[in-house]
């Protein structure tokens, strides 16, 4: 997966609480096992009307946020069923970071495994970033994962916590397979030793 080091992009405001995974990517899009091509279906029931036309009032349909890379969301984001398609759709759209006061556990874990940084902040900090995001294309925010800092459009800085292991994985672009491959020399050495000790196996 792609490394996450420093991200500078437009932040889109989505103050809804309890946005579940069916809202993020409705069930009819779960037939695919590909991680690509789901961006157009992200929030589809909120983005499009029954005829497939865009709803102009939905935040990601507004010109200022069509290329948003950061989402500032309400509490309990990603609740509901445990579908990995939800972070796939966010990532395919271009979202690399979601900021909220809380996330559903499985969604939170799936974000890290797919190269998305979910940041948990106190309500006051989320409110400030939500206010910044309302500025539209001027709502440029910088996320520095190594420093664990968010810099807002006015230059203010907010610090955030992240699990050290997950931070390491994002900084180095390591998913579960990548983590395993880091141990390839040790795995090869073990297999060679095992084959020598048990040639019949």
Mean pLDDT of 16-30: 95
Q: Is residue 96 part of a domain?
A: yes
Residue % of the chain over a pLDDT of 70: 96
Report the DSSP pairing between strands 157-159 and 6-14.
unpaired
**Residue 182 covered by a domain:** no
- How many other CB atoms are there within 10 angstroms of residue 34's CB atom? 9
Q: Report residue 80's pLDDT band, with 50, 70 and 90 as the boundaries.
A: very high
Q: What is the pLDDT of residue 41?
A: 95
Residue 173's Cβ-side half-sphere holds a number of Cα atoms within 13 Å equal to 5
Residue 43 lies in a domain: yes
| pLDDT of 200 higher than 90 | no
State residue 35's pLDDT score.
82
Q: What is the CATH number of the domain that holds 93?
A: 3.20.19.10
pLDDT in tens, 144-196: 999 999 999 988 999 999 999 999 999 999 987 777 676 667 777 777 777 77
Q: Is residue 163 part of a domain?
A: yes
In the chain, the number of structural domains is 1
Question: Is the residue at 126 inside a domain?
Answer: yes
151 is in which domain, residue-wise? 6-174
pLDDT the model gives residue 45:
95
143 domain residue, yes or no = yes
Q: Looking at the domain assignment, is residue 64 inside a domain?
A: yes
List pLDDT tens digits, range 182-197: 666 777 777 777 777 7
Q: What local confidence, expressed as pLDDT, does residue 201 receive?
A: 66
4 and 63 Cβ atoms separated by less than 8 Å: no
Residue 184 lies in a domain: no
């Amino acid at each position: 997966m792609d490394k996450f080091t420093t991200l500078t992009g437009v932040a889109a405001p989505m103050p809804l609480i309890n946005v579940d995974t069916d809202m993020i990517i409705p069930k009819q899009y779960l037939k695919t096992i590909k991680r690509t091509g789901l961006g157009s279906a992200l929030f589809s029931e909120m983005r499009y009307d029954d005829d497939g036309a865009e709803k102009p009032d939905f935040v990601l349909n507004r010109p200022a946020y069509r290329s948003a890379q950061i989402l500032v969301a309400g509490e309990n984001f990603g609740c509901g069923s445990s579908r990995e398609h939800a972070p796939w759709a966010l990532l395919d759209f271009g979202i690399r970071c979601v900021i909220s006061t809380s996330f559903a556990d499985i969604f939170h874990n799936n974000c890290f495994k797919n190269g998305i940084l979910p940041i948990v902040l106190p309500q006051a900090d989320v409110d400030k970033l939500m206010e910044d995001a309302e500025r539209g294309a001027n709502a440029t925010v910088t996320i520095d994962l190594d420093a664990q800092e968010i810099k807002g459009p006015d230059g203010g800085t907010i610090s955030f916590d992240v699990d050290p292991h997950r931070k390491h994985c994002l900084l180095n672009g390591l998913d579960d397979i990548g983590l395993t491959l880091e141990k390839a020399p040790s795995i090869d050495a073990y297999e060679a030793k095992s084959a020598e000790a048990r040639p019949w196996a």
